[in-house]
């Protein structure tokens, strides 16, 4: 059946009547859904029912875009970007969809007129926390920008039943609870069982010479899992585009069960069913740490195989030959989690579709591009060979073949350089053997990028140096960005109104236009508005803090914020040392003039990362002492806001005065929180690391608080033999701070609690806290002096926001499109009754 005709056939009533974007139609549809979908009438309905009824009403309004987009892409045979990512940290959909549809105010008004509290309804949504942090959130910002720029794209990932754990703080310690985000159902997804695919796992291979002389390989798996896609629409901002996020859920294949059933092993069959479904059960909560767990490799392979099979299905549906795969799809690998795609596409093309190896290899290399997100050695993925062989026997053979051909090329280029061959090999043979996933990604991709200028330079000179020497033209930088729709328009409506009233609304799609705010930094009136907004946002956050932490914080104090995953390299404990130094100063000089500050921390520690959990305990321990001490509590407050998430971030960034970006130089690939703070008018205190460098470059050195060693200085100090204990001995203030922690001042006299942390700092300090301590404390002193000059601070705040245009993910996506994907925009025409009649 003709697609346009089919879509138009359902046109007559639903699209024109139900999908009307006005307030009255929205009310009607909300009530209809409450009745027909939730099966409730108002007296019986819960807040969750109301949320779901509104969500379904909104979903109806975006279906027209979704269907029209699919029809447009199919008709045009559009080139498509497939963004493969093990994580998509989307955050709540409802508010964002209302903004992008342009009916946020109408919906609010409609709910209010029905006597409902709109903000309370929005707060009902369980956020899909299908990511750990920066990497997953970047994927979410990128698919938002691709939809806004009208680039045909599919986000492919895993529909984890349990997302990132929920964090609470009990007695100062992190406690994890499972995240049952699907508990009340998910109104934003559509299951597509008709596009389910089968994924093989385990078993062995059989090699056979056929009669015609060709060699064929059969993979006889020990298990089959079925992958069922769940689609979520991703709306562009005020355009007609609705792209798709396609997440795979693992299910037991019926047919496979029957075999076991027939053998009479009911229990065994049920166990097998459960174990297949475990595949998409839970997100691994380790950020920047490679675990080496079998289930994790199975997850990666599962979603990659499902996604590539899906792309092949799409090509076959459009009658496109597989030789043109790389013309139809540009596939971006979000770090190495999906890097097995290189071997899987080869397997699909060569084994299943009988394409000659060389042709398949050309197609594969032209298809993939690889983004690296970390320089941390412990995060570089490698799989023990025996484990890899057990799960993916055929892929190991394919990787050996790729490696053999690749190393031949290396030997031709560098005759006699066996050390280089060993360094470049896809297999690490220096001890027990491993498959190096970053090497597989580099060899199988035509483009490799880092996520900030410094990070890309360090990839070229360090982590991927041998690959850079081999293929310099594959490398480029793509500095990260974040979507201003979620991180300004949705999160900070007050600022959005002021900005739009001042310079119009274009900035929402063209963030560079925020530049127009620059002259307004000189207007006392504008500055005063700017301050009022920040103050209102801080008051709102103070209420949240009072509720969650039971601590009263003063909205007129400086909100000094560090929110991100808890990790030694991010150095939350450096901020802790500074707070203790301030506390000691105030105790020693009670009349010291010090502008009141509220230190706000948030972030999750990987459940198995003991030092990170101890860092949380230290921060909460400092809070317990400082917040209760009558001598300082009016000037210093320390809070740890539990369960940092996208939802909480939306309240935090708009309320921050100071953004803490204090990682050891050379360790943070980019950071993206730094950009969210900047857009919302926070000033940054930071090191020369990741995108901080580029933020400082655009805002100017005068509008940025810089401290600490640079990357070359860190390397030099490392090389000359860093002895943190010497630094401790030479700095009396540092000594006093460390001694206090050591002696149990922040652990109710327990001198053993923080011992591992203190000892690590004194004797190893792998992240150079002691070397940066003095510089950090002095820089904070400058921050304090600047803060008291309110007008100056406000000017700097406005300039920070005005100069944040570069850090829109729209800019990042334009860069990827121009240099790597070459996927033109395809504007969508809405299907309406007009098409039936025409």
| Closest distance to ligand KOT from the beta carbon of 375 (Å) | 9
| Closest distance to ligand KOT from the beta carbon of 576 (Å) | 20
Stretch binding ligand KOT (CB under 6 A), from 130-138, 324-332, 340-348, 435-443:
130-138
Buried b (16+ CB within 10 A) or exposed e, 767-792: bbbbbbbbebbebbeebbebbeeeee
Stretch binding ligand KOT (CB under 6 A), from 184-192, 292-300, 371-379, 676-684:
371-379
| Closest distance to ligand KOT from the beta carbon of 494 (Å) | 27
Contacts 24+ apart (CB under 8 A), 535-544: 536/494, 537/492, 537/494, 537/495, 537/654, 537/655, 538/655, 538/657, 540/651, 540/655, 541/600, 541/651, 541/652, 541/655, 544/641, 544/648, 544/651
As a whole number of angstroms, the distance between CA 508 and CA 820 comes to 25
Which one of residues 558, 669, 682, 831 is an interface residue with ligand KOT (CB under 6 A)?
669
As a whole number of angstroms, the distance between CA 435 and CA 442 comes to 13
| Closest distance to ligand KOT from the beta carbon of 834 (Å) | 43
Which one of residues 623, 690, 708, 805 is an interface residue with ligand KOT (CB under 6 A)?
690
Contact 85, 156 (CB under 8 A): yes
Tell me the Ramachandran region of residue 808: left when phi exceeds 0, alpha when psi lies from -120 to 50, beta otherwise: beta
| Closest distance to ligand KOT from the beta carbon of 289 (Å) | 7
Stretch binding ligand KOT (CB under 6 A), from 16-24, 132-140, 269-277, 411-419:
132-140
Stretch binding ligand KOT (CB under 6 A), from 129-137, 148-156, 362-370, 757-765:
129-137
Residue with tokens 């059960």: 281
Interaction between residue 436 and ligand KOT (CB under 6 A): no
Interaction between residue 811 and ligand KOT (CB under 6 A): no
**Rg of the Cα atoms in the chain:** 28
Contacts 24+ apart (CB under 8 A), 494-497: 494/533, 494/536, 494/537, 494/654, 495/533, 495/537, 495/654, 495/680, 495/681, 495/801
| Closest distance to ligand KOT from the beta carbon of 482 (Å) | 10
Contacts 24+ apart (CB under 8 A), 503-511: 508/237, 508/484, 509/148, 509/237, 509/238, 509/810, 510/805, 510/810, 511/484, 511/804, 511/805, 511/806, 511/807, 511/808, 511/810, 511/811
Which one of residues 153, 661, 670, 760 is an interface residue with ligand KOT (CB under 6 A)?
670
DSSP one-letter code for 282: B
Sign of CA dihedral 164, 168, 173, 175: negative
Stretch binding ligand KOT (CB under 6 A), from 298-306, 653-661, 668-676, 699-707:
668-676
Residues involved in catalysis: 373, 564-565, 570, 672, 676
Which one of residues 451, 553, 566, 783 is an interface residue with ligand KOT (CB under 6 A)?
451
Task: Give the helix ranges, DSSP H, for 653-708.
Answer: 673-679, 692-699
As a whole number of angstroms, the distance between CA 160 and CA 248 comes to 8
The gap between the terminal CA atoms of the chain, to the nearest Å, is 17
Three-class DSSP category at 198 = strand
Q: Which residues have C-beta within 8 Å of that of residue 823, sequence separation ≥ 6?
A: 78, 79, 80, 81, 151, 152, 153, 330, 817
For ligand KOT, the closer of residues 87 and 126 by Cβ is 87
For ligand KOT, the closer of residues 33 and 480 by Cβ is 480
Site string for ligand KOT, 592-611 (x = CB under 6 A): --------------------
Which one of residues 45, 138, 489, 823 is an interface residue with ligand KOT (CB under 6 A)?
138
Interaction between residue 157 and ligand KOT (CB under 6 A): no
| Closest distance to ligand KOT from the beta carbon of 169 (Å) | 23
Stretch binding ligand KOT (CB under 6 A), from 134-142, 148-156, 157-165, 545-553:
134-142
| Closest distance to ligand KOT from the beta carbon of 663 (Å) | 8
Report 378-397 residues binding ligand KOT (CB under 6 A): 379
Interaction between residue 288 and ligand KOT (CB under 6 A): yes
Which one of residues 335, 560, 660, 772 is an interface residue with ligand KOT (CB under 6 A)?
335
As a whole number of angstroms, the distance between CA 120 and CA 321 comes to 51
357-367 vs 393-413: helix axis angle to the nearest 10?
A: 90
For ligand KOT, the closer of residues 172 and 690 by Cβ is 690
Contact 586, 784 (CB under 8 A): no
Report 469-498 residues binding ligand KOT (CB under 6 A): 480
Interaction between residue 287 and ligand KOT (CB under 6 A): yes
Which one of residues 96, 174, 374, 483 is an interface residue with ligand KOT (CB under 6 A)?
374
Interaction between residue 373 and ligand KOT (CB under 6 A): yes
For ligand KOT, the closer of residues 187 and 444 by Cβ is 444
For ligand KOT, the closer of residues 124 and 334 by Cβ is 334
| Closest distance to ligand KOT from the beta carbon of 532 (Å) | 32
- When CB distances to ligand KOT are compared, the closest residue is 134
For ligand KOT, the closer of residues 167 and 372 by Cβ is 372
Count of residues touching ligand KOT (by CB under 6 A): 18
Stretch binding ligand KOT (CB under 6 A), from 305-313, 359-367, 610-618, 666-674:
666-674
- List, in sequence order, every beta strand (DSSP E) within 3-57: none
Which one of residues 15, 135, 245, 541 is an interface residue with ligand KOT (CB under 6 A)?
135
Angle at CA 147, nearest 5°, toward 145 and 150?
110
For ligand KOT, the closer of residues 71 and 426 by Cβ is 426
Which one of residues 479, 672, 678, 817 is an interface residue with ligand KOT (CB under 6 A)?
672
For ligand KOT, the closer of residues 380 and 652 by Cβ is 380
Contact 574, 141 (CB under 8 A): no
Please state, in angstroms and as integers, the Cα–Cα distance from residue 342 to each residue in 136, 394, 765, following that order: 21, 13, 39
As a whole number of angstroms, the distance between CA 376 and CA 425 comes to 20
Which one of residues 668, 694, 765, 772 is an interface residue with ligand KOT (CB under 6 A)?
668
| Closest distance to ligand KOT from the beta carbon of 239 (Å) | 26
| Closest distance to ligand KOT from the beta carbon of 443 (Å) | 18
Which one of residues 134, 338, 393, 444 is an interface residue with ligand KOT (CB under 6 A)?
134
Supply φ then ψ for residue 219, to 5 degrees: -100, 115
Three-class DSSP category at 662 = coil
| Closest distance to ligand KOT from the beta carbon of 133 (Å) | 5
Interaction between residue 448 and ligand KOT (CB under 6 A): no
As a whole number of angstroms, the distance between CA 411 and CA 444 comes to 18
As a whole number of angstroms, the distance between CA 541 and CA 308 comes to 44
Which one of residues 129, 623, 671, 681 is an interface residue with ligand KOT (CB under 6 A)?
671
Stretch binding ligand KOT (CB under 6 A), from 119-127, 577-585, 667-675, 709-717:
667-675
For ligand KOT, the closer of residues 373 and 806 by Cβ is 373
| Closest distance to ligand KOT from the beta carbon of 371 (Å) | 7
As a whole number of angstroms, the distance between CA 534 and CA 536 comes to 5
Residues that bind ligand KOT (CB under 6 A): 133-135, 138, 287-288, 335, 373-374, 379, 451, 480, 668-672, 690
């Amino acid at each position: 059946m003709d697609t346009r005709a089919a879509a138009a056939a359902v046109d007559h009533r639903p699209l024109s009547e139900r999908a009307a974007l006005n307030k009255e139609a929205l009310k009607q549809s909300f009530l209809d859904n409450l009745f027909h979908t939730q099966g409730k009438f108002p007296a019986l309905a819960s807040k969750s029912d109301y949320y779901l009824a509104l969500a379904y009403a909104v979903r109806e309004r975006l279906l027209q875009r979704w269907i029209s987009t699919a029809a447009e892409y199919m008709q045009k045979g559009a080139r498509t970007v497939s963004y493969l990512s093990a994580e998509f940290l989307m955050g709540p959909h409802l508010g964002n969809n209302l903004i992008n549809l342009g009916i946020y105010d109408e919906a609010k008004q409609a709910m209010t007129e029905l006597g409902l509290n709109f903000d309370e309804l929005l707060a009902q949504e369980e956020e899909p926390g299908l990511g750990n942090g920066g990497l997953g959130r970047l994927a979410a910002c990128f698919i938002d920008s691709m939809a806004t720029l009208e680039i045909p794209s599919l986000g492919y990932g895993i529909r984890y039943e349990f997302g990132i754990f929920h964090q609470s703080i009990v007695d100062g310690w992190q406690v994890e609870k499972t995240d049952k985000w699907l508990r009340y159902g998910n109104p934003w997804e559509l299951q597509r069982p008709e596009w389910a695919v089968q994924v093989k796992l385990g078993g062995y291979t059989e090699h056979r010479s056929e009669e015609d002389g060709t060699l064929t390989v059969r993979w006889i798996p020990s298990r089959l899992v079925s992958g069922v896609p769940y689609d979520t629409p991703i709306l562009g901002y005020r355009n007609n585009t609705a792209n798709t996020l396609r997440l795979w859920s693992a299910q037991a294949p019926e047919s496979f069960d029957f075999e076991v059933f027939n053998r009479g092993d009911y229990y065994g069959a049920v166990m097998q069913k459960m174990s297949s479904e475990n595949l998409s059960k839970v997100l691994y909560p380790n950020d920047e740490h490679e675990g080496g767990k079998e289930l994790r490799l199975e997850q990666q392979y599962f979603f990659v195989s499902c996604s590539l099979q899906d792309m092949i299905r799409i090509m076959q549906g459009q009658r496109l030959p597989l030789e043109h795969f790389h013309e139809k799809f540009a596939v971006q690998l979000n770090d190495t989690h999906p890097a097995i795609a290189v071997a899987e596409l080869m397997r699909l093309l060569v084994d299943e579709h009988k394409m000659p190896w060389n042709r398949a290899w050309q197609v594969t290399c032209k298809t993939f591009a690889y983004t690296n997100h970390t320089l941390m050695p412990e995060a570089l993925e490698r799989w023990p060979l025996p484990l890899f062989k057990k799960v993916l026997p055929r892929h190991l053979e394919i990787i050996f073949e790729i490696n053999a051909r690749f190393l031949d090329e290396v030997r031709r280029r560098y005759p006699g350089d066996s050390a280089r061959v060993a360094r470049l090999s896809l297999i690490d043979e220096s001890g027990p053997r491993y498959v190096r996933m970053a090497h597989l990604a580099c060899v199988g991709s035509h483009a490799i990028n880092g996520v900030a200028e410094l990070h890309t330079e360090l990839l070229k000179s360090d982590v991927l140096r041998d690959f850079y020497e081999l293929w310099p033209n594959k490398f480029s930088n793509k500095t990260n960005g974040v979507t201003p729709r979620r991180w300004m328009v949705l999160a900070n409506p007050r600022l959005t109104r002021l900005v739009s009233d001042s310079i119009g609304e274009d900035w929402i799609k063209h963030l560079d236009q925020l530049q127009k705010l620059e002259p307004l930094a000189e207007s006392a009136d504008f500055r005063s508005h700017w301050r009022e907004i920040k103050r209102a946002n801080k008051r709102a956050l103070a209420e949240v803090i009072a509720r969650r932490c039971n601590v009263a914080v003063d909205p007129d104090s400086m909100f000094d914020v560090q929110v991100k995953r808890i990790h030694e390299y991010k150095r939350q404990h450096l901020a802790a040392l500074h707070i203790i130094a301030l506390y000691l100063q105030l105790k020693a000089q009670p009349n010291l003039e010090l502008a009141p500050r509220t230190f706000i921390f948030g972030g999750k520690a990987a459940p198995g990362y003991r030092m990170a959990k101890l860092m949380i305990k230290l921060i909460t321990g400092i809070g317990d002492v400082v917040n209760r001490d009558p001598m300082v509590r009016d000037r210093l407050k320390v809070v740890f806001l539990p369960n940092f998430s996208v939802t909480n971030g939306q309240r935090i960034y708009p309320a921050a005065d100071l953004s803490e970006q204090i990682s050891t130089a050379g360790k943070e690939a980019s950071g993206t929180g730094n950009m969210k703070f900047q857009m919302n008018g926070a000033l940054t205190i930071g090191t020369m690391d990741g995108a901080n460098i580029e933020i400082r470059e655009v805002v100017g050195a005068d509008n940025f608080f810089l401290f600490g060693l640079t990357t070359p200085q860190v390397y030099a100090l490392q090389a000359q033999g860093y002895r943190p204990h010497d630094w401790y001995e030479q700095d009396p203030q540092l000594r006093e701070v460390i001694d206090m922690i050591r002696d149990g001042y922040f652990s109710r006299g327990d001198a053993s609690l923080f011992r591992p942390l203190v000892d690590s700092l004194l004797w190893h300090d792998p992240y150079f806290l002691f070397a940066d301590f003095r510089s950090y404390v002095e820089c904070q002193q400058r921050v304090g002096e600047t803060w008291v000059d309110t007008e100056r601070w406000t000017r700097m705040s406005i300039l920070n926001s005005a100069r944040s245009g570069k850090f829109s993910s729209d800019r990042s996506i334009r860069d990827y499109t121009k240099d790597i994907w070459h996927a033109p925009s395809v504007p969508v025409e809405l299907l309406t009754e007009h098409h039936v009649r025409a």
